[in-house]
């Protein structure tokens, strides 16, 4: 499934901590869009396992900055994720400065798009 598009040289990341207005709603949203399974809260976090090397730990907060998260996926996963975004009528765009132009990009011989989660974090899905 999704691989972090940034992180260590080998693509491995520890456990990023993401602040959200509603930690469980945020974890459920990302799980639904990426086609993952959210298994519920653990301690005060709402952890979402992205793959074998990456878990996002969501926590409630009312004062946080927006962040950018990129997920590198294969072509079939891209199509599935893109269809879920469109089915939920989520605005998407071809770049970080064009988050709602309703286009995808074709950088580096692949495909990609950006969209915001309910907390304003910018999410990117790309194949190359």
pLDDT digits (tens, 9 = 90+) for 90-104: 999 999 999 999 999
Identify the band that residue 11 occupies on the pLDDT scale cut at 50, 70 and 90.
very low
Looking up tokens 């469109």 gives 86
Give residue-wise pLDDT tens across range 49-88.
Answer: 999 888 888 887 766 677 888 999 999 999 999 999 999 9
Say what the pTM is. Answer: 0.81
Max mean pLDDT range (6-10, 116-120, 121-125): 121-125
Where do the domains of the chain lie?
3-126
| Distance (Å, whole) CA 36 – CA 113 | 19
- Number of residues in the chain: 128
Question: What mean pLDDT comes out for the span 24-32?
Answer: 92
Q: Are 31 and 49 in contact (CB under 8 A)?
A: no
Second-level CATH architecture of 3-126? Roll (3.10)
Identify the band that residue 38 occupies on the pLDDT scale cut at 50, 70 and 90.
very high
126 vs 6: which has the higher pLDDT: 126
Max mean pLDDT range (2-6, 36-40, 42-46): 36-40
Query: What order do you get walking across the sheet with 17-20 strand by strand?
Result: 17-20, 54-60, 46-51
């Amino acid at each position: 499934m999704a691989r972090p598009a940034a992180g260590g040289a080998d693509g491995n990341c520890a456990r990023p901590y993401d602040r959200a207005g509603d930690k469980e709603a945020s974890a459920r949203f990302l799980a639904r869009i990426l086609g993952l399974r959210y298994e519920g809260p653990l301690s005060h976090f709402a952890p979402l396992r992205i793959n074998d090397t990456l878990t996002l730990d969501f926590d409630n907060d009312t004062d946080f900055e927006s962040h950018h998260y990129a997920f590198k996926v294969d072509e079939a996963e891209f199509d599935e994720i893109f269809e879920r975004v469109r089915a939920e009528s989520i605005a998407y765009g071809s770049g970080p400065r064009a988050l709602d132009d309703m286009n995808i990009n074709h950088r580096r011989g692949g495909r990609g798009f950006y969209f915001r989660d309910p907390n304003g974090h910018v999410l990117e899905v790309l194949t190359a």
